[in-house]
Structure 1
């Protein structure tokens, strides 16, 4: 008897939700079309890193003028830090809910992540939930920086264009990615393979994945390299770049390589500060906007 009552209650709950979703969707269909762009980054609490996001926003607005742009950060920790500083950023869920309240009907959600890791897939689930709820007539999620082989080729070209001009071919260039336990971490090693096809002294490592800095150090020593330029392979030159890469701590990349006799030149600029990288994300926004019309 109790099981029957529970089943009936669950059935009623599901039906009521289906009715609510259908009513919501019908209301959206009656609204005049209003396009929007939601840019979603992991985020950074470093004030100097804001230049990267300003670059992206400026390029998006220039490329797709007239379409309102909104922002969201996926990192709860970063949002909390910023809130304590008096700066308030929305989560993707909150940002999309606000865009519903603003009567947006067609939204291109653009990931500003580097790879399709755990953060990106959390964002995918959020977008999918809103799409299923029917709060928008069309909701499209754009790819992160490095997804397809075409993206990879563009990233290789962007890396080469962003290397300081004074670097000689005998000097190494080490890119520091974030790294993840997600299967997409394999993209870092794949990128290094493709980079070394055109420049054998460019290496890619990560803070929290593979390849690790100790492996890169061994590779540099095997080649007899005496100098290395260290560059963050992240959209912003935030905490990881300033501390894990270029910091004074014993376990920073600079410290580890310096102890091995390799002179280090940190370059504290995030990938989003370079137009060559930013345009890849901008192109993904364009792909999403075109999909909104299909």
Structure 2
């Protein structure tokens, strides 16, 4: 089967094209596939949650003439939460030595799309000490996680990006040198950071399972 890449982030598209790198939106990929005579298409989302971008830039995109099935984002089905926790837990520091904070993007304009993040926060709090989730935008935000981190009585905080790559948000909003970065807000705790989810084979396996379920729909 042919594999094609489509991008939903306008910022990423702009940056790549500015460097002379060919990249396409999903409508553009659909047009290419129609010209090639393709008829069956599986679109696997690499989003973390089925949020605004997934719905508007993938599910709602017209696909005239194509039989399209969709592989769901990482946190879409009930058992995905346990699977993600088990994929990440081996990389967490010992709970008596450090606080672990999962760093999610979130959505402040459409906070209803943060529901899976709230569900994951509840799950990890019920299954592990000193492990919390915080968002850059929308609920649950940072207040609760930071208060619990300060109250934990440990000297280190380990940030785990709930993103495929540890890009600008992690480097600036979380680990940046600005006074409002998460690292500095939790000072004097020593801050460390994990690499993005895309480097975790067990996380990728969840996406592959979603591809398999979508293939079964043809």
Category of TM-score, reference length = shorter chain: over 0.9
59, 74, 91: which one aligns with 1:124: 59
CA distance in 2 between partners of 1:247 and 1:102 (Å):
46
178, 184, 193: which one aligns with 1:266: 193
**Offset of residue 99 of structure 1:** 1.2
- Paired residue for 1:73? 7
| Local SS of the residue matching 1:224 | coil
Deviations along 1:188-226, one digit per CA (max 9) or x if unpaired, are 121121112221211111111222223321111223232
Alignment of 1:188-203 (within 5 A): 188-203=117-132
145, 150, 168: which one aligns with 1:221: 150
Q: Structure 1 runs of 4+ off > 4 angstroms?
A: none
| Local SS of the residue matching 1:81 | helix
Using structure 2 for the length normalisation, give the TM-score: 0.93
Asked if 1:234 is matched to 2:156, the reply is no
Deviations along 1:83-109, one digit per CA (max 9) or x if unpaired, are 111112101111111111121111100
| Local SS of the residue matching 1:69 | coil
CA distance in 1 between partners of 2:215 and 2:90 (Å):
28
- Paired residue for 1:57? none
Asked if 1:160 is matched to 2:95, the reply is no
CA distance in 1 between partners of 2:138 and 2:155 (Å):
25
**Offset of residue 70 of structure 1:** 0.4
Whose radius of gyration is greater, 1 or 2? 1
1:109 and 1:140 in contact (8 A); partners too = yes
24, 32, 35: which one aligns with 1:98: 32
1:115 and 1:187 in contact (8 A); partners too = yes
Using structure 1 for the length normalisation, give the TM-score: 0.70
124, 127, 138: which one aligns with 1:209: 138
Unaligned runs of 5+ in 2: none
Asked if 1:282 is matched to 2:217, the reply is no
- How many residue pairs match? The answer is 214
Unaligned runs of 5+ in 1: 1-66
Deviations along 1:156-187, one digit per CA (max 9) or x if unpaired, are 11121333xxx222211111001113312022
- Paired residue for 1:246? 175
Alpha-carbon RMSD across the aligned residues, in angstroms, is: 1.3
Deviations along 1:257-287, one digit per CA (max 9) or x if unpaired, are 11xx3221122x1111101111111111111
CA distance in 1 between partners of 2:59 and 2:78 (Å):
21
**Offset of residue 237 of structure 1:** 1.2
Deviations along 1:133-177, one digit per CA (max 9) or x if unpaired, are 2x12x21011100011111111111121333xxx22221111100
CA distance in 2 between partners of 1:177 and 1:140 (Å):
27
Asked if 1:109 is matched to 2:43, the reply is yes
